[in-house]
């Protein structure tokens, strides 16, 4: 009688078990993190990781390389190919709803022979990309704050205060620490802030997109925005038109990734095998639309393209979109108040984005530590006793991010390097599980609710080739002639980092790293 009751109780528990948790158990993991996130909260955090205004610092360089037509239509092209990557990842996420996400996917999809190596490469690419991604947002937020202070104290022409390198670095460090502190609390705090974020970005984005061209009357013509193509070899040193176009599209490639954040939160999300794919694809759709509209609003509102880059202009030539916004408001109302408000909206986008990227980075470090893939893993996988969040992993990510920002004191190309490392690492991490899914036998794949069927091979092939192109583009020099203060240091930094990681694998890690480590015996249900 007792055994029958136990069986009935077990059946009832199985029926009540969340579908994502059930799949997690099947994959060999017990539920440790709190599974209390809804689809909307997951979408809010994922959306925040991408951010409507995230490409603001790159708008100026992208515009000067090949003019507005290349920038505007480049966004459409990048959006098109991004859908292939997102759809491929959504299918995998539906089958493997785990916090380890990309590197967990790589391990299982690559099979027992190549799984550990694929998992190792993917995990470290993802870790490098996410941690440097925090730095990219901290830099963008600091740069926007620098301009807000400049305009608020009188503009560059009116004796306003333009923060020095040392002050700029303090801003960078301050933002990183604030994000780490907030991520030390329960995930519900982050989820609440990211719900504010999604409304901030949607409402703020609509305000900027709609109001800026209205304030900037008269605006540029449609022919200028959609058809004007012009390279600037005297400014960039780039004579080749195809090369200039490739660099002008980097803005779009930088903005349209980060949707894997939904996958990092799947162990904390209800029904993650369904909500994860929905959050991934919804975020791509929203950002594709809003980002393009934002670029259109900026481009239509340009008054004098050449004046935007003048170091003696009101924003010191430091942030082109800020000058466009300033020209619009000062030209209409003869003050900078409206421009400051718009820049605060944009700064808020960077703040929320950095907060979400910190959340993602900590989850990846936690998952890799859980599988003993990081030195001193026992420290980084510890959860906060009260809030059940990977607090130690959060602070490790923050510390590394701060170290990455220290060259700000001496070099002008820090942002280019951090941004390139972030994109190559983050997007490069997508390539490994997608390639594994492309070449694996279909009989070895257990599909989730979101399944591509026969369409998976062409979709995965296009996605993989696009990722390879994107990573290659961010390795290119962005200014000529090559000098110490114009050189793109990303290839060197990545070569050194990846060489050390591969050397570690060959000499030691391959002997003990076997990929994701089960902490749950699905045969008898024991931990």
pLDDT at 525 over 50: no
Residue 522 belongs to some domain of the structure: no
Strand partners, 521: 526
Residue 525 belongs to some domain of the structure: no
Cβ-based burial of 410 (10 A; exposed 0-12, middle 13-18, buried ≥19): exposed
The arithmetic mean of pLDDT across residues 153-172, rounded, is 93
pLDDT at 522: 44
Look at residues 357, 255, 275 and name the one whose alpha carbon lies nearest to residue 93.
Answer: 275
Share of the chain above pLDDT 70, in %: 87
CATH code of the domain containing 218: 1.20.1740.10
Look at residues 301, 133, 290, 82 and name the one whose alpha carbon lies nearest to residue 198.
Answer: 290
Task: Find out whether the peptide bond into 218 is cis, omega within 30 degrees of 0.
Answer: yes
Tens of pLDDT, residue by residue over 443-476, are 888 888 888 988 999 999 999 999 999 999 999 8
Higher pLDDT, 46 or 508: 508
Coil, helix or strand at residue 269: strand
Rounded Cα–Cα distance for residues 276 and 91 (Å):
10
Residue 311 belongs to some domain of the structure: yes
Of 102-106, 228-232, 277-281, 322-326, the one with minimum mean pLDDT is: 102-106
Residue 245 belongs to some domain of the structure: yes
**How far does CA 291 lie from the centroid of its chain?**
14
pLDDT at 417 over 80: yes
User: 431: left (phi > 0), else alpha (psi -120 to 50), else beta?
Assistant: alpha
Rounded Cα–Cα distance for residues 330 and 232 (Å):
27
Higher pLDDT, 46 or 115: 115
User: 228: left (phi > 0), else alpha (psi -120 to 50), else beta?
Assistant: beta
Of these ranges, 174-178, 231-235, 452-456, the one predicted with the greatest mean pLDDT is 174-178
pLDDT at 519 over 60: no
Of 45-49, 101-105, 160-164, 333-337, the one with minimum mean pLDDT is: 45-49
Separation in Å, CA 42 to CA 108, 259, 269: 24, 11, 7
Tell me if 55 sits within 8 A of 205, measured CB to CB.
Answer: no
Confidence band for 477, pLDDT divided at 50, 70 and 90: confident
Rounded Cα–Cα distance for residues 53 and 103 (Å):
29
Domain count, the chain: 1
Of 218-227, 331-340, 369-378, the one with minimum mean pLDDT is: 369-378
Rounded Cα–Cα distance for residues 59 and 243 (Å):
17
Residue 479 DSSP label: S
The arithmetic mean of pLDDT across residues 375-383, rounded, is 78
pLDDT at 14: 42
pLDDT at 50 over 70: yes
Task: Find out whether the peptide bond into 481 is cis, omega within 30 degrees of 0.
Answer: yes
The arithmetic mean of pLDDT across residues 45-69, rounded, is 85
The arithmetic mean of pLDDT across residues 97-111, rounded, is 78
Residue 255 belongs to some domain of the structure: yes
Domain interval for residue 415: 43-511
Strand partners, 269: 37
Confidence band for 480, pLDDT divided at 50, 70 and 90: confident
pLDDT at 481 over 60: yes
Look at residues 142, 63, 61, 139 and name the one whose alpha carbon lies nearest to residue 476.
Answer: 61
Residue 235 belongs to some domain of the structure: yes
Residue 526 belongs to some domain of the structure: no
Residue 301 belongs to some domain of the structure: yes
The arithmetic mean of pLDDT across residues 308-328, rounded, is 94
Confidence band for 267, pLDDT divided at 50, 70 and 90: low
The mean predicted confidence, pLDDT, of the chain is: 85
């Amino acid at each position: 009688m007792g055994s029958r009751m136990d069986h009935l109780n077990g059946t009832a528990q199985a029926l009540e078990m969340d579908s994502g948790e059930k799949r997690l158990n099947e994959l060999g993991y017990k539920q440790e993190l709190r599974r209390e996130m809804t689809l909307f909260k997951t979408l809010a955090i994922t959306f925040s990781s991408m951010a409507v205004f995230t490409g603001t610092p790159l708008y100026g360089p992208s515009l000067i390389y090949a003019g507005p037509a290349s920038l505007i239509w480049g966004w459409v092209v990048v959006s098109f190919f991004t859908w292939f990557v997102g759809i491929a990842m959504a299918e995998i996420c539906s089958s493997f709803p785990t916090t380890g996400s990309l590197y967990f996917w790589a391990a299982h999809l690559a099979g027992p022979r190549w799984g550990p190596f694929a998992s190792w490469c993917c995990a470290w690419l993802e870790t490098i990309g996410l941690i440097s991604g925090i730095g990219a947002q901290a830099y963008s937020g600091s740069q926007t704050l620098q301009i807000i202070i400049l305009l608020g104290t009188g503009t560059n022409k009116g004796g306003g205060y333009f923060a020095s390198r040392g002050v700029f670095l303090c801003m960078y460090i301050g933002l990183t620490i604030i994000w780490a502190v907030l991520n030390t609390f329960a995930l519900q705090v982050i989820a609440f802030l990211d719900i504010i974020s999604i409304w901030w970005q949607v409402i703020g984005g609509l305000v900027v997109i709609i109001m800026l061209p209205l304030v900037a009357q008269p605006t540029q013509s449609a022919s200028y925005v959609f058809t004007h193509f012009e390279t600037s070899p005297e400014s960039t040193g780039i004579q080749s038109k195809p090369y200039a176009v490739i660099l002008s599209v980097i803005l779009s490639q930088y903005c349209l990734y980060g949707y894997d954040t939904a996958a990092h939160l799947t162990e904390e999300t209800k029904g993650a095998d369904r909500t994860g794919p929905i959050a991934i694809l919804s975020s791509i759709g929203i950002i594709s639309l809003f980002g393009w509209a934002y670029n259109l609003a900026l481009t239509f509102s340009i008054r004098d393209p050449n004046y935007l880059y003048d170091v003696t202009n009101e924003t010191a030539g430091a942030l082109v979109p800020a000058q466009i916004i300033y020209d619009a408001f000062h030209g209409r109302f003869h003050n900078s108040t409206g421009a400051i408000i718009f820049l605060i909206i944009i700064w808020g986008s960077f703040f929320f984005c950095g907060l979400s990227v910190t959340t993602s980075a900590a989850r990846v470090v936690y998952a890799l530590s859980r599988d003993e893939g990081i030195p001193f893993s026992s420290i980084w996988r510890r959860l906060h006793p009260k809030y059940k969040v990977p607090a130690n992993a959060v602070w490790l990510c923050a510390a590394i991010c701060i170290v990455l920002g220290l060259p700000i004191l001496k070099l002008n190309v820090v942002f280019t390097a951090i941004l390139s490392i972030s994109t190559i690492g983050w997007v490069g991490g997508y390539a490994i599980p997608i390639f594994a899914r492309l070449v694996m036998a279909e009989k070895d794949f257990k599909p989730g609710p979101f399944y591509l069927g026969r369409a998976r091979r062409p979709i995965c092939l296009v996605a993989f080739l696009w990722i390879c192109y994107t990573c290659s583009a961010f390795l290119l020099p962005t200014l000529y002639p090559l000098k110490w203060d114009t050189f793109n240091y990303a290839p060197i930094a990545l070569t050194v980092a990846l060489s050390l990681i591969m050397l570690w694998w060959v000499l030691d890690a391959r002997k003990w790293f076997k990929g994701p480590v089960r902490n749950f015996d699905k045969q008898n249900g024991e931990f």
